[in-house]
Amino acid sequence: MQLNTLQDTSLYFHLHSLYLHTSRLYGSALRPLGLVPEQFMLLVALQTIHIAANLAKTLSVNRTTLSRTLKTLAARQQIQIKKVRTAKNRLQKLYELTPKGQDILKKATLEWRKVELYLKNNLEQMLPDFVTTSGWMTERIKELKMMTHS
């Protein structure tokens, strides 16, 4: 099978392309606030989860990536790190949103919802067709590019 035929018929190629373009769309919406999508998702998770291991599991990220992102948000004073003793007298770090972090999360959530609404209105009804229609992805990419450049 030739590569261009595989690209035309492979669900993976279409889904991967869709992922890249939607990631750019979310990134463009959050960039003016100084966030990337992964940082936004972490701020959302920090509303209810405060332990690094649980955050990593919930967000499906490795601990190194999580640690780096937590340090970035702490340096921006969007989160605070508290050291507490566990029942077994071990030190444990708890991560919490600061008022600044809560404020940026509110603003970012508004932008995130705009992207969600756009995607829901423009992609939801097309996804079943996208599996079988090779030209569908090209048209969606053009729409997303136009939206991100406006």
Note the pLDDT of residue 13.
74
Note the pLDDT of residue 11.
67
Q: Please tell me whether residue 104 adopts helix, strand or coil conformation.
A: helix
Residue type, 125: Q
What's the mean per-residue pLDDT of the chain? 84
pLDDT digits over 72-81, tens only?
999 999 999 9
pLDDT at 1 over 50: no
Note the pLDDT of residue 133.
54
Note the pLDDT of residue 132.
43
Q: Where are the domains of the chain?
A: 12-149
Q: pTM for the complete prediction?
A: 0.75
Note the pLDDT of residue 136.
61
Give all strands (DSSP E) within the chain, no chain letters. 79-85, 91-97
C-alpha span between 56 and 132 (Å, rounded): 35
C-alpha span between 75 and 77 (Å, rounded): 5
CATH 1.10.287.3510 fits 12-149, yes or no: no
C-alpha span between 41 and 62 (Å, rounded): 14
C-alpha span between 9 and 144 (Å, rounded): 21
Of residues 65 and 121, more confidence is placed in 65
Give the mean pLDDT of 128-148.
60
Cα of 133 vs its chain's centroid, Å: 27
pLDDT at 128 over 50: no
Q: Which residues contact 123 (CB under 8 A, 6 or more apart)?
A: 140
Q: Which residues of 76-98 are buried (b: 16+ CB within 10 A; e: fewer)?
A: eebbeeeeeeeeeeeeeeebebe
Of residues 147 and 27, more confidence is placed in 27
pLDDT digits over 111-120, tens only?
999 998 888 8
